Amino acid sequence: MVRDILTYPHPLLRTPTKKVQVIDREIEELVRDMFETMYQADGVGLAANQIGVSLSVMVMDTTPKKEAPPVKLVLINPEVVSQEGSISYKEGCLSFPGLTVEVERFNKLQVRALNLRGEEVHYTLEGFPAVVFQHEMDHLMGITFVDRVKGLKRRMALERYSKLQKQRV
């Protein structure tokens, strides 16, 4: 089922999520809905709190972008194990429709999480998939991509977003 995506400044986007305690049918349904919602919105990543569920669950599928080998993942209670290098990428966000901002991220990550079977999984993500992971991980921690830029750049991004919102109404 496609769910509504919360848009900034909804308070849930600023609230850190809770760890998943049990992976059950509800979590499986949540993940299915997250993929459907993400694909419907033409996104490459989605965090559960973006659809109003305050749990540490993210999905990502970089297949639509031809920039890197495709990565399609379900990550429950994800954690960064190590990070290195840096990459600057012009990011967009389903919770900030129409806005893009140049963000500095780590280029390579080692991450661990649980999969839908409750098994611990480990991944090495590099380049675009690493950017998507960090973007969604930020959501799970109550951080938005606009928070990753400072000063005038941040103020200008928020002003652009405000104008975009007024045009959408």
Positions marked catalytic: 136
- Report which of 35, 23, 58, 54 is spatially closest to residue 132, judged by C-alpha positions: 58
Q: How far apart are CA 85 and CA 62, in angstroms?
A: 20
Q: How far apart are CA 55 and CA 18, in angstroms?
A: 5
Which tokens belong to 21?
């305690």
> What is the pairing mode between strands 120-126 and 87-93?
unpaired
Which H/E stretch holds residue 35? helix 25-40
